[in-house]
A and B are shown apart, each in its own frame.
Chain A
């Protein structure tokens, strides 16, 4: 404490320094006040109060549970009187014999929902027993739903009963719904259902060991293909998860990023030579190429994508061209600035040995800008991997579009989570590959990996 006081006292003794420090302090307070004022303005410009009111955090909870769980529906149609038990209510995933927690016959079903919860369906009447609350009776009649709550039972938030619909979800993993048309009981289970093979496939219940021995030996399941091929085909074309389509979408996105960046780098380099003051062949041409770079960059990826989607339709070519056009401008500008900063001594040294013009470029110029070329190319490849997902979402296709579509249907959140995980994995893999390559190719020149330094 005293030592600090002495130090600051000494500072105070020099009035010029003290004034400079005080001015800087005032400046930083003024800056902080300005930022605070701006953020306050933004708070109201974004209508944060209204947003907080209309936010639906329960959707986040729903999304979180639905994306890691699946549910089994027990449904009785009041029209046909049939009782159907199916995973996610899908016709392709119907149980022929009821699972252990359901006993069902023609007219009635008794469903054990675990932890003392129980639901019974008798004709058009659903009995739902909730521990600590009592039994709720909901009857589907010809013109609506009649609900009888237990005597003195309090009205809970998880229970909604009207003349047209009854809906009770006492816990997040149990739900009973009654409408005029049907009685539906949901029970949730943790995990992704039928991830590898479709529900009705004969190999759905096989364990990994069984599959292995089936693939290499065992009786052939199909006449026209080997067991291994059949197992792969069943997995690949699984209708719920669409592994094959997801893989192709990922490939499209990867293709967009790689092709776009490579094209931009290899088109940008020769143009950069024309745009660099010390290498250009004509000052007028230099000016034109520089403005071309500004134009390509300024029009922005969003607008390029929209134009290319219009002319080339959906697909990786569209995305690749949008990336290539924008980044030819960006990389071209970076390369031309790097070329203007090259060391003339090395070029003169090569020239003094009597090298031809081509050899001067090869041995005097290229070695100097190669690290920047490689590191900037890889840096943009990395960032374009993310851009490609967004361009896809604009309508160019690939994993971005698939993600937007599964989210918009907001039905199978587990599919959405699956796509998100794969996308993030692909992006991270690309990031690691690119930074590994950068380290390998340009050791000790990490300064040049940063774009600002190259300016």
Chain B
């Protein structure tokens, strides 16, 4: 048998094996999904088919009530604007504090910035833990100690942000070009000068991009935590939904406010991020 025939035989064999693996993965995934939905359906208090008929009841009920209150709708939205601002404040403060803390951890956790090498694994593990800890748990604990207030949610979101941004920032740090640092070192710049003139100009555009993405995520998280008892638009939603029928117009106003603000932030941040990355890569 010639070498090429041998090779093509091997390739066909490998290809067949790979196809088998792929089919196996697809079959297993499909089985997991179907079995999972079956299981989930049996664990749910209301069944799927039963719920499907009711699926549009609630949204349409809200829409109808909102339509009946259409003249007062803008007024309702205006009434809930302070709650929205509170949620946005929670997200913004948490992103700023988490971003600053994350930056400190990121610098400690990157091996190429001439800081203390022994701090690298410690900083990384700390960030892992901060990231893995569910926000809900910190928020509930702090609500218990501090009482109902936006601050517990802010601290909880800031904790997670520290871990998440810290990891992304340190990945940015590790991808920088060290030549600029070496050049500055050669002309006698101290550590702060090296960071200021060689590192920050390289990393800041990416930092900013991650920062904005995180702000967007944090607005959603703050709204959800509000529902659990941390104030803001989530708390208002909980109140209006708790009243049940008749408050559909208020619920609709809150929904519209939240969806609009998320949409605006989402679009603005993705536009700015595209611009930043393009400018950076040019």
Contacts and interface: CB of A to CB of B under 8 A. Distances in A.
Interface of A: 2-4, 6-7, 10, 35, 38-39, 42, 45-48, 51, 54-57, 59-60, 63, 248, 252, 255-256, 258-259, 262-263, 266, 294, 297-303, 306-308, 310-318, 320, 386, 389-390, 393-394, 397, 400, 403-404, 407, 410, 420, 423-424, 427-428, 431, 450-452, 455
Contacts of B195: none
Given A4-B190, A452-B273, 15 more contacts: A3-B187, A6-B187, A6-B188, A46-B93, A55-B145, A262-B29, A297-B266, A300-B262, A306-B241, A317-B37, A320-B40, A389-B134, A400-B136, A404-B228, A452-B209
B32 interface: yes
A302 B258 contact: yes
Contacts of B268: none
A239 B268 CA distance: 52
B262 A298 contact: yes
A447 to B, nearest CB: 9
**Which of A386, A397, A400, A428 is the most central at the interface, judged by chain B CB atoms within 10 Å of its CB?**
A386
Which of B44, B188, B213 has most A Cβ within 10 Å?
A: B44
Contact of B40 (A60, A316, A400, A452): A316
Contacts of A35: 96
Interface string B232-266: 00100100010000000000000100110011001
Contact of A7 (B32, B57, B188, B270): B188
Given A3-B188, A318-B44, A450 B168 contact: yes
Contacts of B36: 255, 258-259, 262, 320
Given A303-B258, A452-B210, A4 B193 contact: yes
Contacts of B89: 42, 45-46
B110 to A, nearest CB: 15
B249 to A, nearest CB: 16
Contacts of B128: 431
Q: Closest 4 interchain pairs by CB? A: A3-B188, A315-B44, A313-B46, A313-B45
Nearest to B62: A307
Given A6-B188, A263-B33, A451-B213, A45 B237 contact: no
A307 to B, nearest CB: 6
B270 A455 contact: yes
B67 interface: no
Contacts of B273: 452, 455
Contacts of A386: 134-136
Given A263-B33, A423-B134, A311 B228 contact: no
Contacts of B193: 4
B140 interface: yes
B151 A317 contact: no
Contacts of B146: 51, 54-56
A50 to B, nearest CB: 9
Interface string B133-155: 11111001100111101110010
21 contacts: A4-B189, A4-B193, A7-B189, A46-B93, A255-B40, A294-B266, A301-B220, A302-B220, A302-B223, A308-B51, A311-B55, A312-B46, A316-B44, A318-B44, A386-B136, A389-B136, A390-B221, A394-B228, A423-B137, A450-B168, A452-B210
B58 interface: yes
Nearest to B61: A310
Contacts, number: 202
B85 to A, nearest CB: 8
A60 B152 CA distance: 13
A214 to B, nearest CB: 34
B54 to A, nearest CB: 4
A315 B137 contact: no
Nearest to B52: A311
Contacts of B274: 455
B23 interface: no
B137 A51 contact: no
Contact of A262 (B33, B43, B133): B33
B133 A424 contact: yes
A283 to B, nearest CB: 21
Contacts of B145: 55-57, 59-60, 63
Interface in B58-108: 58-59, 86, 89, 92-93, 96
B259 A298 contact: yes
B225 interface: yes
Contacts of A55: 145-147
B41 interface: yes
Contacts of B52: 311
Contact of B43 (A45, A59, A315): A315
A317 B48 contact: yes
Contacts of A302: 220, 223-224, 227, 234, 237, 258
A248 B39 CA distance: 12
A56 B152 CA distance: 13
A29 to B, nearest CB: 13
A389 B221 CA distance: 12
B259 A390 contact: no
B277 interface: yes
B86 A45 contact: yes
